[in-house]
């Protein structure tokens, strides 16, 4: 039987990381780029939703159907084009905008991206119900899975002589909404 992982931050109050919130707000207003959001997300804690999935029911003593067995499931969003996305949220309030009964599991952005690829999803959809939806897809999804410890990259060039650490940017438009068009358009 799967176990519930230990929290990344036991004292987490469920609020969004201030750097992520600022980057997403700037992205929405056009003052920040997708690269700014990805930089903030690369070291951030996200919340992955799990929901109860009824696997077996029975008719109770009063003739009503009742739950007999359920499992916790990682929901995926399926776009109109058939592509799947794993959902992740920056805060408990953003999660509750989507589905109030979902339960949050803490994960790093690279962990969520790895889970998406493991689930054969084409994207990770951040804050799908708002306040600022943001997709991570394509080469960016694959690149973020390769980052085990983003904080360690900052120290790599000073710790190892003759090593240059380069950042890779993806030429994404400032207001990329392909996933949202695919879902709702």
Most confident of 53-57, 134-138, 159-163: 134-138
Q: Structural domain boundaries of the chain? A: 18-56+67-184
The per-residue b/e assignment along 121-148, b for 16 or more CB within 10 angstroms, e otherwise, is bbbbbbbbeeebbbbbbeebbebbbebe
Contacts of 4 (CB under 8 A, 6+ apart): 105
Question: What's the predicted TM-score (pTM) here?
Answer: 0.71
Q: In this structure, are residues 141 and 124 in contact, taking their beta carbons and an 8 Å threshold?
A: yes
> What is the pLDDT, as a whole number, of residue 172?
46
Q: Is it the case that residue 91 has pLDDT exceeding 90?
A: yes
> What is the pLDDT, as a whole number, of residue 27?
96
Mean pLDDT, residues 19-25 taken together: 97
Residue of higher predicted confidence among 23 and 158: 23
């Amino acid at each position: 039987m799967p176990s519930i992982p230990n929290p990344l931050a036991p004292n987490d109050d469920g609020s969004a990381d201030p750097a992520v919130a600022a980057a997403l707000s700037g992205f929405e207003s056009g003052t920040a780029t997708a690269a700014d959001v990805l930089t903030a997300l690369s070291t951030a804690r996200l919340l992955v939703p799990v929901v109860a999935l009824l696997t077996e029911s029975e008719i109770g003593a009063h003739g009503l159907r009742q739950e007999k067995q359920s499992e916790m499931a990682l929901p995926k969003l399926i776009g109109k084009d058939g592509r799947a996305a794993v959902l992740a949220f920056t805060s408990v309030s953003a999660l509750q905008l989507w589905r109030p009964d979902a339960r949050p599991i803490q994960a790093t952005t690279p962990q969520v991206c790895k889970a998406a690829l493991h689930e054969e999803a084409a994207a990770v959809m951040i804050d799908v119900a708002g306040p600022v939806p943001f997709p991570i897809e394509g080469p960016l999804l694959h690149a973020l899975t390769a980052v085990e410890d983003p904080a360690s990259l900052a120290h790599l060039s000073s710790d190892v002589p003759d090593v240059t650490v380069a950042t890779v940017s993806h030429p994404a438009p400032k207001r990329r909404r392909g996933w949202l068009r695919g879902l709702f358009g």
